[in-house]
Chain A
């Protein structure tokens, strides 16, 4: 595999063993994200505390390895963060996978999310990585559905 490979071991592992893969009963916010062209489907559940902290974030659904691993990493990354911080991470992540943010040169707080850096070499897969984030964003905005089409 080349060093521009999309599929790092961590991504494949998480796609098979995603974290926070469960529903949240009576979640404060939830949103189903769908990618009609490829059939990826992710429902994101969020509980938000009085101070705006994302106290619990979980997801369910089915999709490709990139989508599943991204959803898993997203829930881990935003849990315990304030809503504004989560939205900032979404912005940085979106720019990362579109190739507009170079994690080696640009300032960012992505941490382990940089494992999705190589998605930028696969333009057709950007929507796979970003689908869970769109769902999270829309859940927080109280919109019922998200789509990357």
Chain B
């Protein structure tokens, strides 16, 4: 109760109760209970301003970008490029042209694997990832290694879910052509020490890609302070629409990289003999882009920045502490991932109850969590588990919802206590 009382008083600068009113889905009833949405690490709910902005674009402003000279197209191009500026501000990118729109974090990583990897990685070279990666930051590198005869090296993780940097240091050699690590583990919640990881890689001359899918929506990210070479995230986890994401890259890399998809808009001139490519970022944006989604993402990021990423991180950390204490108080519940630096993601198991049964029984109480391997099978294997249940939090969650989660877990245990 003390944790709840502390949260009830405005120690944070964020009014979660008021912000919830912006999210229509959060007013829903599920199986006769108010929805308790604890699956934001999978995808976040959408505020009305994002839904309205996209509707307005389709209803009143719709046109293509960067092709036609009529007024609507000029306005659409302005809105589209305006969203690029908003993203650049979010990440503190030095230049707007360093922001490439992709379908999501997955495509951003694939773009780098293709555009950087196919050009700069050769036989016998090595790519370093970590043991906690999402499949999106494993498979593209495996595909590249297979194609090039390169090798994948993996930074091991300790029992708490922290990367072992001494082991990482030994993996770094002059064969290392890229380091690709998650900023925050989606399965364990660990905030990895990406600053150190990047410094160590750069000391060996290797560029670093950071998968920020679980970080960018939840904490301030400064790509210049990090000095990362690439940073990717997904719009749909950041209160934005599906099908849109962001790749930030250092201009010196983006300019030297191969294009990803060929087509319209990414070219300068085309003849049947030779094509010259458009300058960045357009070199990487072939075809008519996801215009409404980009504009919606811009609105989502403005919304998050108005709340303040510092305030979001602080508030979510309070939720994490409270939820960790609540779950740890239930006999039979084990939290998987106990790193000292964690984002508001809690993977857990319950003795004798499969995570899918936990997921279904919690859903009957209106509590939405993820159950499964979280697209991170190697992490699950590391901890000897086929799956876990995962509760993940956002700034629109309330202390009372943590209590609902705790009560639903206790009820689940009671159902199985035959």
A contacts, CB < 8 Å to B: 1-2, 5-7, 9, 12-13, 16, 37-41, 62-66, 122, 125, 128
Contacts and interface: CB of A to CB of B under 8 A. Distances in A.
B356 interface: yes
B418 A64 contact: no
Interface stretch (B51-59, B254-262, B357-365): B357-365
Nearest to B380: A39
Nearest to A122: B360
21 contacts: A1-B415, A2-B31, A2-B364, A5-B364, A7-B357, A7-B415, A9-B418, A12-B416, A16-B416, A16-B418, A37-B372, A37-B373, A38-B372, A39-B387, A40-B356, A41-B386, A62-B386, A64-B354, A64-B356, A65-B354, A125-B356
Contacts of A128: 356
Contacts of B387: 38-39
B418 A12 contact: yes
B352 interface: yes
In the A-B complex, list the 7 residue pairs whose CB atoms are closest, starting with the nearest.
A39-B386, A64-B354, A64-B356, A39-B387, A65-B357, A64-B357, A12-B418
A12 B415 contact: yes
Contacts of A41: 386
Contacts of B352: 16
A6 B386 contact: no
Contacts of A122: 360
A20 B361 CA distance: 27
Q: Of B357, B361, B371, B380, which is in contact with the most chain A CB atoms at under 10 Å from its CB?
A: B357
B418 A13 contact: yes
A40 B371 CA distance: 12
Contacts of A13: 418
A7 B356 CA distance: 12
Contacts of A66: 356-357
